[in-house]
């Protein structure tokens, strides 16, 4: 859009008007003569405009260039980064038109509509916008990339167009949805497709743009609800009339190759979609409810970025431990945590680190969440009796170096995985437990012999996902005392922290949080822990021994991240569970410890003593045992 360096254009004064753009940028101190000469050489080769070349080279930003460009062209300039648009403005311009012409509506007065555009001198675009909106359109200049980011942000938040599509789709039968255009993976519907098809495409597009992990389509009377899970929390996005709900579910079943006639039984399916160059896998699940069928779509954005260990949130000490684990040639590493805690992402980040043409990595998963090049991935199919145990036996005959078992669910799978780790393979797997020490108890309960577990277990990584504070609106705060008590933290443990919280802005959709990071607990068994496993010691004894060797609890790791402003104490209180016994401050050093401990692992102060009558652990200084009545002097 900007003028060629050779021709130039008028500006706000005669002096500026006679200047070329490059000269003007030099005069403003934004670039040097050397930078301009280099850009001009590139311009002569590429044929691009000088402004485009300078932006592509990173010589200056759109925020720096656009005001100068506006003055150069005698145009009004709008700083798009400061815009706050509501539904009233967004209704004036459809999203498809906004994307096509890289424009945003600013204000509407009578028959006049003012927009900000990347190319306000495109008179054909202005004419098309006037015809499509019914307004007389005038335009100001804005940065192209800033406008594109703002379109994603504003239209995604308001789901513009949904009301129109629902109004057009009320009363439509589900039957026409069977005539599908093109491939099932195409999200973009043609203009004459059924409104329900466009509505579902709109919902899925917004979910991918917002980074939602799940889409919930729930029935209700008189209207159902579409909710997105954003950074771990569900948020309402759209209300759907009950008359449209069956058609919406039917369209979803068509995409997932499910039986649209079966509405009494749960069904599962999947489909891969592509949108604006980004690919995503959708895992679809439906269940029958009293008001109708509910569908949940798990969104696995395969283009959301690579799997890098450094981006997960490991503390330097834990990172070193993990790197030592994945450098081994044999043994079993268990990643544990509840559903949705990021276990699969951690495992794929580990495999990405060790992936090599010289290593045969084979996985068996249910389902395969990420299709990753360089890995040999096997899908479990219970309907044909391809279970984890049977698949794992077959994998062992495929000359593997590294094996990933998606989840240990039964004794047979557990024992085969342990035998594989014992015979020279590095095995990664997952479990659902609360923390690292309880993983040992769980594996023993499944049926792994103590001697075998003590031999093959080389590491346990327990994790949770907490929301990260939005960097654009964060500010200092005081930690909530009720949350501190609930986490079992002492005032001494909070010292030295710089606690912040997000105030809410357009970048984080007013939540105060943007993105998530991991909170970890890394247990690497040493000789003492292995000995405790063999001796049938309690989970608390194992926890104490692990802490004495440097293992930090989930709460401690989360607190360290809150101290440096990466998350908040309130977020830790929402995500982390604290043991019912975790309420004792050490009288010696002030550290908050599990009250089942006998001695502080840091200063060795006495916390609990054993009753001579029944063997129960009681608070230090007890007078009478609450279990057997045994007395002792305080």
90 confidence band (pLDDT: 50, 70, 90)? confident
What's the rounded Cα separation, in Å, for the pair 128 and 476? 48
Length of the chain: 634
Q: What is the mean pLDDT of the chain?
A: 80
Taking the C-alpha atoms of 228, 229, 230 and 231 in order, what is their torsion angle to the nearest 10 degrees? 180
Strand order in the sheet with 278-289: 233-241, 223-230, 214-218, 292-301, 278-289, 267-275
Checking if the pLDDT of 181 tops 50, the result is: no
For the stretch 478-489, pLDDT in tens is 877 777 777 777
Checking if the pLDDT of 411 tops 50, the result is: yes
For the stretch 374-383, pLDDT in tens is 889 998 887 7
543 confidence band (pLDDT: 50, 70, 90)? confident
Residue 370: which residues within 8 A CB-CB, separation 6 or more?
A: 281, 300, 302, 307, 344, 348
Neighbours of 623 (CB within 10 A): 9
Residue that wins the pLDDT comparison between 304 and 437: 437
Work out the angle between the directed axes of helices 388-395 and 411-422 (0-180°, nearest 10).
20
What's the rounded Cα separation, in Å, for the pair 319 and 324? 9
Checking if the pLDDT of 594 tops 70, the result is: no
Work out the angle between the directed axes of helices 162-169 and 195-210 (0-180°, nearest 10).
150
Task: Please check whether residue 441 is in contact with residue 541, taking contact to mean a CB–CB distance below 8 angstroms.
Answer: no
What is the token pair recorded at 306?
């690579």
The 3 state secondary structure assigned to 43-70 is HHHHCCCHHHHHHHCCCCCHHHHHHHHH
Checking if the pLDDT of 192 tops 70, the result is: no
400 confidence band (pLDDT: 50, 70, 90)? very high
- Over residues 233-242, the mean pLDDT reads 83
Task: Please check whether residue 297 is in contact with residue 206, taking contact to mean a CB–CB distance below 8 angstroms.
Answer: no
494 confidence band (pLDDT: 50, 70, 90)? confident
Task: Please check whether residue 111 is in contact with residue 136, taking contact to mean a CB–CB distance below 8 angstroms.
Answer: yes
* pLDDT value of position 215: 93
Checking if the pLDDT of 11 tops 90, the result is: no
Checking if the pLDDT of 3 tops 80, the result is: no
Q: Give the highest mean pLDDT range of 303-307, 509-513, 593-597.
A: 509-513
How many helices (H) does the chain have, and how many strands (E)?
23, 22
Which region among 319-323, 356-360, 490-494, 597-601 has the lowest average model confidence (pLDDT)?
597-601
* pLDDT value of position 36: 82
What's the rounded Cα separation, in Å, for the pair 433 and 428? 16
Burial of 15: CB neighbours in 10 Å, binned 0-12, 13-18, 19+: exposed
What's the rounded Cα separation, in Å, for the pair 185 and 257? 11
The 3 state secondary structure assigned to 584-633 is EECCCCCCEECCCCCECCCCCCECEEECCCCCCEEECCCCECCCCCCECC
């Amino acid at each position: 859009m900007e003028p060629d360096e050779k021709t130039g254009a008028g500006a706000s004064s005669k002096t500026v008007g006679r200047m070329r753009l490059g000269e003007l940028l030099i005069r403003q101190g934004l670039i040097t003569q050397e930078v301009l000469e280099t850009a001009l050489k590139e311009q002569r080769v590429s044929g691009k405009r000088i402004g485009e070349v300078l932006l592509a080279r990173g010589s200056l930003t759109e925020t720096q260039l656009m005001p100068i460009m506006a003055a150069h062209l005698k145009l009004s300039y709008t700083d798009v980064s400061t815009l706050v648009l509501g539904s009233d403005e967004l209704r004036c311009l459809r999203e498809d038109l906004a994307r096509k012409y890289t424009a945003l509506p600013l204000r509407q007065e009578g028959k006049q509509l003012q927009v900000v555009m990347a190319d306000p001198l495109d008179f054909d675009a202005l004419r098309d916008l006037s015809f499509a909106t019914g307004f007389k359109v005038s335009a100001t200049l804005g940065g192209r990339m800033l406008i594109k980011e703002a379109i994603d942000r504003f239209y995604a938040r308001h789901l513009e167009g949904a009301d129109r599509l629902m109004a057009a789709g009320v009363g439509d039968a589900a039957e026409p949805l069977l005539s599908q255009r093109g491939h099932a993976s195409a999200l973009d519907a043609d203009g004459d497709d059924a409104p329900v098809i466009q509505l579902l495409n709109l919902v899925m597009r917004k979910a991918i743009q917002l980074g939602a992990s799940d889409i919930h389509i729930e029935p209700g009377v008189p209207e159902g609800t579409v909710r997105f899970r954003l950074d771990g929390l569900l948020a309402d996005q759209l209300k759907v009339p009950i008359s449209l709900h069956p058609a919406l579910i039917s369209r979803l079943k068509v995409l997932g190759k499910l039986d649209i006639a079966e509405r009494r039984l749960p069904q599962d399916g999947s489909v891969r979609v592509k949108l604006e160059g980004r690919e995503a896998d959708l895992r679809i699940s439906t269940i029958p409810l009293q008001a109708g069928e509910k569908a949940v779509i798990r969104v696995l954005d395969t283009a959301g970025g690579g799997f890098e260990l450094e981006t997960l949130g490991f503390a330097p000490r834990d990172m070193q431990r993990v790197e030592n684990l994945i450098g081994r040639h044999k043994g079993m590493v268990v990643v544990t945590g509840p559903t949705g805690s990021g276990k699969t992402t951690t495992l794929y980040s580990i495999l990405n680190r060790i992936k090599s043409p010289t290593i045969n990595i084979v996985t068996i998963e249910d389902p395969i969440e990420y299709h990753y090049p360089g890995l040999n991935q096997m899908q479990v199919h219970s309907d044909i009796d391809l279970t984890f145990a049977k698949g794992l036996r077959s994998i062992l005959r495929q000359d593997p170096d590294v094996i990933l078992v998606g989840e240990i669910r039964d004794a047979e799978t557990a024992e085969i995985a342990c035998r594989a780790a014992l015979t020279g393979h590095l095995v990664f797997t997952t479990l659902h437990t609360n923390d690292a020490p309880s993983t040992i108890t769980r594996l023993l309960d499944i049926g792994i012999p103590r001697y075998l577990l003590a031999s093959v277990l080389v590491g346990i990584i327990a994790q949770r996902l907490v929301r990260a504070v939005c960097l654009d609106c964060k500010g200092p705060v005081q930690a909530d005392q009720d949350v501190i008590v609930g986490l079992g933290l002492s005032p001494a443990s909070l010292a030295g922290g710089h606690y912040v919280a997000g105030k809410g802005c357009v970048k984080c959709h007013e939540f105060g949080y943007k993105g998530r990071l991991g909170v970890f607990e890394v247990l690497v068994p040493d000789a003492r822990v292995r000995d405790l496993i063999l001796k049938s010691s309690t989970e608390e004894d194992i926890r104490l021994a692990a802490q004495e060797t440097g293992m930090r609890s989930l709460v401690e790791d989360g607190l360290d991240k809150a101290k440096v402003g990466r998350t908040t104490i309130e977020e830790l209180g929402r995500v982390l569970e604290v043991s019912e016994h975790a309420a004792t401050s050490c009288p010696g050093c002030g550290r908050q410890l599990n009250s089942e401990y006998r001695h502080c692992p840091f200063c060795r102060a006495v916390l609990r003593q054993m009753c001579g009558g029944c063997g129960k652990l009681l608070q230090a200084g007890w007078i009478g045992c609450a279990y057997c009545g045994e007395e002792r002097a305080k």
